[in-house]
Amino acid sequence: MNGLNVDTLRGQVRGQIITPGDAGYDAARAVHNGLIDRRPAAVVRVSQVADVIACVNFARENSLDLAVRGGGHSAPGFGTWDGALVIDFVNTSGVRVDPAARTARSEAGATWADFNHATHAFGLATTGGIVGSTGVSGLTLGGGIGYLDRKYGLSCDNLLSADVVLADGTFLTASNSENEDLFWALRGGGGNFGVVTSLEYRLHPVDLVHVGVVIYSVEHAETVARFYREQMDTAPEEFGAFLAFHQGPPVPFLPEEWHGKPVCVVVGMWTGDPAEGPARWQPFLDVAPVAGSMVGPMPYPALNSAFDAMYPKGLLAYWKAAFLPELSDGAIEAHLDFGSRVPSVQTAVHLYPIDGAVHRVGATETAFPNRTAKFSPVIACMWDNPADTEANIAWVRDYASALQPFSEAAGYINFMDKDDLPKVADNYGTNYRRLSEIKAKYDPQNLFHVNQNIPPG
Ligand SMILES: Cc1cc2nc3c(=O)[nH]c(=O)nc-3n(C[C@H](O)[C@H](O)[C@H](O)COP(=O)(O)OP(=O)(O)OC[C@H]3O[C@@H](n4cnc5c(N)ncnc54)[C@H](O)[C@@H]3O)c2cc1C
């Protein structure tokens, strides 16, 4: 991009424009995944919708690639791109709660920590991610899995409307009553259809939750995994807990001898009657010897930010995903094999339950089609030593291959890395055709292609 072009854009936006050579360029081009080292032509920290319209028009008119960054957590690093214009929402994170209507409207740069902080003041919440620093935008547009999904559905199931800047620079609102086709596509179709500038959510009464983090030696993982499967078959939807494989984290409730050792963990929360909380967790304390545990009431946002410090910006990361119709014996075996060889203390292998309310939405009601799988596993390998990169990527690939026979064809797009782009069509299954038609209507030139791309059909 030459100087003249930047000056043109500068005259059209109120936000900060950062280009190569500017102090802060390296910080501005970086995303959460430290493996990503891309050099955009400019990063625009937009301040309002008018800036977004200017950027979209500018990228289109100058044939620039356009990347859109909400919270910057995309594992493939789609929030930054070589030679691209990056729309970065980092400076727009306001959340306005309407406690009477039980709704909240969030600006596109809010994180789940921002969102939960705002809604918790009113004793309300909606389904969001399990790490506070993750962006509401990318997470919701891809689906949105979290502790509350069994009870209240995915984040995208709680989306009531979204403001969007389209590829031709026009602005509109999508909801169940206007631009319904676009609204359908935004709920699971990712960043393919436009730049979302704000998102309105339905909220639910969620205040103190009864949290459990129960850590076992990996030698008990088979017992724990089978028990977890049995429990989740009958557990009320108020029980949102996932099975995990980690290295013992340096947390105060885990004795030091376990730090860095392979462990199996059950993590989650009970949102039902607080008096029932201890009894909901007791079976997990009894099923096998416990290496360390923390069980007790906690404000919902505290749980959502409890692990943030373990996942700072800049960790190197490589992820893969699956969808398990069942936690079959074969899937458990694959987890026991690879889960006992988790390569770093930051690596998280999580099996999120996505039944209950998620299953009550039909596969074609929103773009998110995976409405019968019971678990959405993520193999989220994260590490800090570049020397480990090759071995860690190989471990993730082998793990995913071992899990594949027990999985649906694809995995959750928000947990996929860049080399899984060929699986995007498989992931959407019967919804893919409609998505590509809607793409052709709203973005016929595929301006929004720096994402899990659905080309116009
Ligand atoms: C530490 C960590 C924890 C996570 N935990 C969970 C979890 O619990 N549940 C879960 O479901 N996922 C989780 N994820 C995955 C997460 O859903 C994806 O990484 C998601 O893309 C993050 O959204 P973001 O806005 O932070 O990312 P970004 O990198 O900013 O955005 C990702 C993509 O989303 C699109 N996008 C973002 N903002 C906009 C916008 N305003 N308009 C249009 N398109 C946009 C773009 O295509 C962009 O490339 C986690 C990721 C990390 C790194």
For the domain that residue 155 is a member of, what is the CATH number?
3.30.465.10
> 276 and 336: one domain?
yes
Run of H or E including 9: helix 3-10
Which residue, judged by its Cα, is nearest atom 31 of ligand 1?
Answer: 138
Nearest Cα to 306, choosing from 349, 253, 261?
253
In the numeric block, the tokens 């995994």 are attached to: 225
Residue 442 located in a structural domain: no
What separation in Å is there between the alpha carbon of 317 and the centre of ligand 1? Answer: 14
> 186 and 105: one domain?
yes
Run of H or E including 351: strand 348-353
What separation in Å is there between the alpha carbon of 161 and the centre of ligand 1? Answer: 18
> 267 and 403: one domain?
yes
Output the tens digit of pLDDT for each of the chain's 457 residues: 545 578 889 999 999 999 999 999 999 999 999 999 999 999 999 999 999 999 999 999 999 999 999 999 999 999 999 999 999 999 999 999 999 999 999 999 999 999 999 999 999 999 999 999 999 999 999 999 999 999 999 999 999 999 999 999 999 999 999 999 999 999 999 999 999 999 999 999 999 999 999 999 999 999 999 999 999 999 999 999 999 999 999 999 999 999 999 999 999 999 999 999 999 999 999 999 999 999 999 999 999 999 999 999 999 999 999 999 999 999 999 999 999 999 999 999 999 999 999 999 999 999 999 999 999 999 999 999 999 999 999 999 999 999 999 999 889 999 999 999 999 999 999 999 999 999 999 999 999 999 999 999 9
In the numeric block, the tokens 């009531």 are attached to: 160
Question: In one letter, which amino acid is 75?
Answer: A
Spatial contact of 269 and 245, defined as CB atoms under 8 Å apart = no
Domain count, the chain: 3
Which is the closest atom of ligand 1 to the Cα of 136?
Answer: 25
Which residue, judged by its Cα, is nearest atom 38 of ligand 1?
Answer: 70
Distance CA 428, CA 363 (A): 10
Q: Which of 107, 134, 452 to mutate to test the pocket of ligand 1 (most atoms within 8 A of CB)?
A: 134
What separation in Å is there between the alpha carbon of 71 and the centre of ligand 1? Answer: 6
In the numeric block, the tokens 């727009």 are attached to: 92
> 239 and 193: one domain?
no
Run of H or E including 57: helix 49-61
Nearest Cα to 383, choosing from 400, 369, 395, 399?
395
Which residue, judged by its Cα, is nearest atom 47 of ligand 1?
Answer: 191
Give the binding-site residues of ligand 1, using a 6 Å CB cut-off.
32, 68-75, 78-79, 89, 108, 129-131, 134-135, 137-139, 141-146, 190-191, 195-196, 311, 414, 451
> 389 and 278: one domain?
yes
Contacts of 239 (CB under 8 A, 6+ apart): 150, 231, 232, 268, 270, 272, 280
> 101 and 201: one domain?
yes
> 253 and 194: one domain?
no
With vertex at residue 352, the alpha carbon angle to CA 346 and CA 355, rounded to the nearest 5 degrees, is 175
What separation in Å is there between the alpha carbon of 452 and the centre of ligand 1? Answer: 11
Whether this prediction's pTM lies above 0.95 is answered by yes
